[in-house]
Amino acid sequence: MKTELAGGRVRFLGTFPTEVPVVGLPEVAVAGRSNVGKSSCLNRLVGVRQAARVSSTPGRTQAINLFQVQERYVLADLPGYGFAKVPEAVQAGWKGLVEGYLASERDLRLVLMLIDPRRDAGGMDADLLWSLREARLPVLVVATKLDKLKRLKGRSALLRLAREYHLAPHELLGFSSLKGTGLEQLHKAIDKAVKVKR
């Protein structure tokens, strides 16, 4: 069921626990750990406070949520991975759903891969990034919660992420949902991605 948000600028297209429909617009996927601040980032990005549900309990997003933005592109909010307190069988189901979405024939222009810059590189984050590169999907690593680090520590954390994940400058962006740090650059990256024909 479609729901109009922000005066019709953003439209919630629905929650899809199994098959995800192809809307016919360029798509941008948002992926990351269950506690990385994915919902807060998405809400700040579309300018709607409650577009995506923000919870103190990791793993609330258990399906793929689609948002149509300005009749121009679709944001796909993917289930978080990692710390969700759910049975392994449920997590495996989410993994299959996300992998199926990423591998399906759709106009996916960009994957925003959210990472907490305070975490060490590796594990599931490294696995996802490797998978995205193997699939030749364009990816932008968004280092969230930058406001939780002092300026010099934040800069140092970004340099470390770039080094450990072998990221080019255009593949990494520092971001804070609270302060809006990196928001303009994130909008520009998405605008560029949805305008480019694939």
The percent of residues above 70 in pLDDT, for the chain, comes to 81
| Selected residue with higher pLDDT from 141 and 135 | 141
* Digit-coded pLDDT (tens) for 163-196: 999 999 999 999 998 898 999 999 999 999 998 6
Lowest average pLDDT, out of 8-17, 46-55, 76-85, 186-195, goes to: 46-55
CA distance 9 to 4: 8
**Residue 59: its pLDDT value, please?**
47
> At 157, is the pLDDT very low, low, confident or very high (cuts 50, 70, 90)?
very high
> Per residue, what are the HEC states of the chain?
CCEEEHHHCEEEEEEECCCCCCCCCCEEEEEEECCCCHHHHHHHHHCCCCCCCCCCCCCCCCCEEEEEECCCEEEEECCCECCCCCCHHHHHHHHHHHHHHHHCCCCEEEEEEEECCCCCCCHHHHHHHHHHHHCCCCEEEEECCHHHCCHHHHHHHHHHHHHHCCCCHHHEEECCCCCCCCHHHHHHHHHHHHHCCC
Cβ atoms within 10 Å, residue 89:
7
Q: What is the mean pLDDT of the chain?
A: 83
Architecture of domain 3-195: 3-Layer(aba) Sandwich (3.40)
Task: Report CA Rg, the chain.
Answer: 16
- The pTM score is 0.86
When pLDDT is cut at 50, 70 and 90, the band that residue 198 belongs to is: low
Pick the more confident residue, 10 or 159.
Answer: 159
Segment 60-81, tens digit of pLDDT: 557 888 999 988 999 999 988 7
Using one digit for the tens of pLDDT, what is the confidence trace for 106-124? 899 999 999 999 888 778 8
